[in-house]
Amino acid sequence: MDRLLANASERARAYLNAIQSRRANPSEDAVAGLSVFRESLPEGPTEASEVLRLLDEAGSPATTAMSGARFFGFVMGGAMPAPLAANWLATAWDQNPGLHLASPIGAELEEISLEWLVELLGLPTGCAGSFVTGATVANFTALAAARNAVLHGVGWNVEAEGLFGAPPITVIIGAEAHPSVYKALGMLGLGRERVLRVPVDSQGRMRTECFPAFQGPAIICLQAGNVNSGAFDPAREIIEKAHAGGAWVHVDGAFGLWAAASPRLAHLVRDFAAADSWATDAHKWLNVPYDSGLAFVRDEAALRAAMSISAAYLPQGDHREPSNYTPELSRRARGVDVWAALKSMGRSGIADLIERNCASARQFATGLAEAGFEILNEVVLNQVVVSFGDAETNRKVVQAVLDDGTCWCGGTVWQGRGAMRISVSSWRTTPEDVQVSLAAIIRMARSVLDAS
Ligand SMILES: *Cc1c(COP(=O)(O)O)cnc(C)c1O
């Protein structure tokens, strides 16, 4: 065990030490090399060191350099040193934090991190929280609490009775909501299709004047940080209207909620604190390893009613039992890496991370605009949507950027137009990385345009 872990650590260190000088995208050869894993189920044992060697030699080259400085895809952050190292230690601990009794350290670090996060994200004091795999499940968890509460309000116990015969719930959602919100609604029996979609403006924000009238149990889904533009829904107006009608307001703030951690950007998200529940990711802008998402719910009882394991199944202690707040019972101790990120960066370190990434996004937008390309969004956060021409041209430029390997950017469709999206979410990204990446993107775009 000892030699094996040293071996793993050495391989991981070599991998990370080389991440700055390698391609952002795995080469075609490296992906083709994955065929060595396609064998029939091994009949007998293989030396653990041999398993590790195969994984490193054939697997490492076929990774995307997501923890590198020039990965700008999907709003994915790179794991920072402290949470990565803490995650290794916690994996060695092999803790199951479902119950406080089973893992005091796992449960305590979750509770402490939640308290710190409520403060950092500007959420109402005392609101309950939940550690989950990502924002998709955070949306699911918070919307389960919402479903419980709005039906409870009309005398229906959805946990006991289910949805058959229940009063209908009106679900109102922005036309630019993230697909994961639809998925969560589908999993909750609220339906992906029976929602009312509010039209949006040029940045993807709900148009307040189009917000529909509603009656009875209702859930409104707002967005803090559009996955393309980074834009924020007009929270104050919509939350006022929603609460006047007794609705529950949920916020998908997978990355946008972290704006609250920066004094310079907190104004973008301040009004969302009046909502009833929030979903966010730690594996995006807090730069912790996968998988790590968070749900917050103002009404602790609603979250617990939706998520608790029956009292008869497991003994209740004097402590907050993590499994009463989250869909899973057994799971990894996600609080360890989140705590390590918060402890190592502190308030000022997190503000600095958020602000540096937003400055990098502005640097991208300025550089691309100066080169004559069209920026399709107002760059309010860490997201840049750029167009190099028609849909086919954009597709070719994205492919050329991936083939070049200097940096990683993805294609997207923004308000019906093909485009390329740049998300800056990693602690590693410096102004020099942006400069080098800009030069590569501009070079690729010009070569595609020259060839057409
Ligand atoms: C990334 C993202 C999600 C989904 O998060 P996962 O962690 O991938 O489940 C949801 N909403 C928004 C706005 C996102 O950016």
Ligand 1 mean position, distance from CA 62 (Å): 24
**360: DSSP letter:** H
Domain boundary among 315, 341, 367: 341
10 Å CB burial of residue 373 (0-12, 13-18, 19+) is: buried
Q: Is the pLDDT of residue 314 over 90?
A: no
Q: Taking the alpha carbons of 294, 299, 300, 302 in that order, is the dihedral positive or negative?
A: negative
| Domain around 327 | 85-341
Structure tokens of 51? 């398993």
Q: Is 385 helix (H, G, I), strand (E, B) or coil?
A: strand
The rounded distance, in Å, linking the Cα atoms of 6 and 264 is 43
Stretch 330-342: mean pLDDT = 97
In a domain, 233, yes or no: yes
Q: Is 204 in the pocket of ligand 1 (CB under 6 A)?
A: no
pLDDT at res. 319: 85
Q: Is 225 in the pocket of ligand 1 (CB under 6 A)?
A: yes
Q: Best of 281, 288, 381 to mutate for ligand 1, by most ligand atoms within 8 A of CB?
A: 281
pLDDT at res. 311: 57
N residues, the chain: 452
Do the bridges between strand 277-281 and strand 218-223 make them parallel or antiparallel, or are there none, so unpaired? unpaired
pLDDT at res. 452: 84
In a domain, 405, yes or no: no
Average pLDDT, the chain: 96
Radius of gyration of the chain (CA): 23
In a domain, 260, yes or no: yes
Ligand 1 mean position, distance from CA 35 (Å): 31
Strand order in the sheet with 383-387: 374-375, 383-387, 417-423, 410-414
272 shares its domain with 329: yes
Q: Is the pLDDT of residue 236 over 90?
A: yes
- Categorize the per-residue pLDDT at 318 as very low, low, confident or very high, splitting at 50, 70 and 90: confident
Domain boundary among 341, 371, 396: 341
pLDDT at res. 315: 57
Q: Is 407 helix (H, G, I), strand (E, B) or coil?
A: coil
264 shares its domain with 198: yes
**71: DSSP letter:** B
Tens digit of pLDDT for each residue in 172-182?
999 999 999 99
Ligand 1 atom showing the smallest separation from residue 283 Cα: 7
Stretch 250-271: mean pLDDT = 98
In a domain, 291, yes or no: yes
Q: Is the pLDDT of residue 137 over 70?
A: yes
pTM of the entire predicted model: 0.97
Q: Is 182 helix (H, G, I), strand (E, B) or coil?
A: helix
Contacts of 136 (CB under 8 A, 6+ apart): 180, 183, 184, 293
Residue linked to tokens 């993805």: 410
In a domain, 377, yes or no: no
62 shares its domain with 109: no
Q: Is 58 helix (H, G, I), strand (E, B) or coil?
A: helix
In a domain, 312, yes or no: yes
Q: Is 422 helix (H, G, I), strand (E, B) or coil?
A: strand
Q: Is 140 in the pocket of ligand 1 (CB under 6 A)?
A: no
DSSP per-residue letters across 13-49 = HHHHHTTTTS-SS--HHHHHGGGGG--PPPSS---HH
126 shares its domain with 230: yes
- Whole-number Cα distances in Å, 127 to 108, 111, 296, 408: 17, 12, 7, 38
User: Long-range contacts of range 46-51, CB-CB < 8 Å, 24 or more positions apart?
Assistant: 48/4, 49/3, 49/4, 49/7
Ligand 1 atom showing the smallest separation from residue 291 Cα: 7
Stretch 117-121: mean pLDDT = 98
Where is 391: in which H helix or E strand? Answer: helix 391-404
Ligand 1 atom showing the smallest separation from residue 74 Cα: 1
89 shares its domain with 61: no
Quote the number of domains for the chain.
Answer: 2
Ligand 1 atom showing the smallest separation from residue 137 Cα: 9
pLDDT at res. 46: 97
The rounded distance, in Å, linking the Cα atoms of 326 and 309 is 9
Q: Is the pLDDT of residue 161 over 60?
A: yes
In a domain, 394, yes or no: no
Helices (H) and strands (E) in the chain, counts: 13, 11
Contacts of 268 (CB under 8 A, 6+ apart): 224, 232, 256, 259, 380, 381
Stretch 382-396: mean pLDDT = 97
Residue nearest to atom 14 of ligand 1 (CA): 254
Ligand 1 mean position, distance from CA 303 (Å): 20
Q: Is 178 in the pocket of ligand 1 (CB under 6 A)?
A: yes
Q: Best of 75, 132, 136 to mutate for ligand 1, by most ligand atoms within 8 A of CB?
A: 136
Residue nearest to atom 7 of ligand 1 (CA): 134
Q: What CATH number is attached to the domain comprising 286?
A: 3.40.640.10
Q: Is the pLDDT of residue 162 over 80?
A: yes
User: Which of 150, 197, 191 has its CA nearest to residue 172?
Assistant: 197
Stretch 322-326: mean pLDDT = 94
**Is the preceding peptide bond at 271 cis, omega within 30 degrees of 0?**
no
62 shares its domain with 207: no
Domain boundary among 303, 324, 341: 341
Give the number of other Cβ atoms within 10 Å of residue 113's Cβ. Answer: 25
249 shares its domain with 327: yes
Q: Best of 227, 290, 292, 421 to mutate for ligand 1, by most ligand atoms within 8 A of CB?
A: 227
Ligand 1 mean position, distance from CA 222 (Å): 13
The rounded distance, in Å, linking the Cα atoms of 225 and 236 is 15
Q: Is 285 in the pocket of ligand 1 (CB under 6 A)?
A: no
Q: Is 271 in the pocket of ligand 1 (CB under 6 A)?
A: no
Are the CB atoms for 177 and 205 separated by under 8 Å?
no
The residue type found at 68 is G
Ligand 1 mean position, distance from CA 85 (Å): 25
215 shares its domain with 335: yes
The rounded distance, in Å, linking the Cα atoms of 364 and 386 is 10
253 shares its domain with 223: yes
Ligand 1 atom showing the smallest separation from residue 255 Cα: 15
Ligand 1 atom showing the smallest separation from residue 138 Cα: 9
**Is the preceding peptide bond at 433 cis, omega within 30 degrees of 0?**
no
Ligand 1 mean position, distance from CA 252 (Å): 8
51 shares its domain with 139: no
Q: Best of 72, 178, 222 to mutate for ligand 1, by most ligand atoms within 8 A of CB?
A: 178
Determine the angle formed by the axes of helices 104-120 and 334-370, rounding to 10 degrees.
Answer: 40
55 shares its domain with 93: no
Residue linked to tokens 């709900």: 206
90 shares its domain with 64: no
Q: Is 239 helix (H, G, I), strand (E, B) or coil?
A: helix
Residue nearest to atom 1 of ligand 1 (CA): 254
In a domain, 12, yes or no: yes
